[in-house]
Chains A and B, each alone.
Chain A
């Protein structure tokens, strides 16, 4: 059998060899990986590419949207009338709560004005629709159809009709990326509705339930407790429903109880979301006199 050479004959000029190209682009990728994880220099590049991709993403949405329109068109009038009646009933049932809430809000605003406390949350809420959920199996993210052009800013909380869904983490001109509460190491400061115990809920990644870490075994918590946002982080307004405790394991010999919980909101299901107004800038945490962030600052203070 004749041996076929892998190398091309010299008269076919083909530029650098495949391995040289691989080495070049491989090293370039590694450099990019390092730069993007360590520093956030490349966000502008990402913005530009995202805008270029946007038409393609819209094209992909079109068949689904068209189908939804057709389905809407053919939904029977009886069905619509039924829905309408049910919604009116619901509105009526919730009216006392809403009115009470308005009253409380006014009262709260007055008291805050008296105490000279700044408003904690400002800006309008923005209704958004889910474009698609991220394909990356390592993270829990989704994309919504409102972006910088609609006034979305990074850090805003995102909720659905039941509870907290996540937080805006990246904003593109026409869409925004929302990191879900189930994303690995996404933290939400919560408190137990029943007992008022404060804690932080950490997401555990795809397919796993979030958990409360570092709670001592004797803490006042039980399965079925609802968790609300505590509002002490300046990102999530206080009092939004987040999750329900699924199980509490108290083992002797363990320093902490193992508390798992299930998000209340349809974190991966709800098609319609609400982006809440941005939290007003909270005051910086006062520096502790004993330890300083950088040696330079510490020296300065000692000198002064």
Chain B
């Protein structure tokens, strides 16, 4: 039986294997699929923006692979999927990617749950940007539940980080044996 790494955040001194590009693309597609899940009512309020979350993770971990341009393209996809105005998600994701690149060194210094708090701020900022674009465009103000999705997203951050980091640690621990 292969030795599996513990289900926890990598220690700061642990050197991770380089990430496989196909894995990044796969997780981004899964994030997109997560956003397309047909839900309604309370579930819709709770549904975080999975794609933004995965994007944020890769922008923080692998800024040389995923950055503003990629985020912008994924934003355009979300604009079509949500039937919103072209450029709304694209702008929000591009700014999110830039903010991630700017703050990544700071975010990575903290333990997971404190990272989640910082991610909450970033996701709320992203949502506020969308709100601004829409309200300028003449949409009515949404209710306060609008902020629930980003907060749920931030709560998912520790789990997501551990999951996405796992393949990079798995091989490592096998090699050690």
Contacts and interface: CB of A to CB of B under 8 A. Distances in A.
Given A60-B33, A132-B36, A36 B87 contact: yes
A170 B79 CA distance: 14
Interface stretch (B65-73, B155-163, B164-172): B65-73
A30 B87 contact: yes
Contact of B77 (A35, A49, A141): A49
What's the interface size class on A, roughly? 35 or more
Interface in A4-38: 4, 6, 14, 18-19, 21-22, 25-26, 28-33, 35-37
Given A25-B94, A133-B38, A139 B77 contact: no
Contacts of B40: 132-133, 268
A41 B116 CA distance: 40
A177 B83 contact: yes
Interface in A219-271: 268
Contacts of B87: 28-33, 36
A194 interface: no
B64 A14 contact: yes
A136 interface: yes
B95 A26 contact: yes
B128 interface: no
Given A29-B94, A138-B142, A4 B86 contact: no
B91 A29 contact: yes
Interface in B83-129: 83-88, 90-91, 94-95, 97-98, 101-102, 105
Contacts of A204: 140
Interface residues of B, number: 46
Contact of A33 (B33, B37, B88, B95): B88
A33 B85 contact: yes
| Most interface-central of A26, A31, A42, A133 (chain B CB within 10 A) | A26
B56 interface: no
B47 interface: yes
Judged by DSSP, the binding face of B is: helix
B50 to A, nearest CB: 11
Contact of B72 (A25, A46, A208): A25
B12 to A, nearest CB: 15
Nearest to A206: B142
B143 interface: yes
Interface of A: 4, 6, 14, 18-19, 21-22, 25-26, 28-33, 35-37, 42, 45-46, 49-50, 53, 56-57, 59-61, 64, 131-139, 141, 143, 170, 177, 184, 204-208, 268
Given A204-B140, A206-B143, 20 more contacts: A21-B69, A22-B68, A22-B98, A25-B90, A25-B94, A28-B72, A29-B75, A29-B94, A33-B87, A36-B86, A42-B86, A53-B80, A60-B33, A60-B37, A134-B82, A135-B35, A138-B84, A170-B83, A184-B140, A268-B40
28 contacts: A4-B105, A18-B102, A22-B98, A25-B68, A25-B91, A26-B91, A28-B87, A28-B90, A32-B90, A33-B85, A33-B88, A33-B137, A36-B85, A49-B76, A49-B77, A53-B77, A53-B80, A57-B81, A60-B38, A131-B38, A132-B37, A133-B38, A135-B44, A137-B142, A138-B134, A138-B140, A204-B140, A206-B143
Interface of B: 29, 32-33, 35-40, 44, 47, 63-64, 67-69, 72, 75-77, 80-88, 90-91, 94-95, 97-98, 101-102, 105, 133-134, 137, 139-140, 142-143, 146
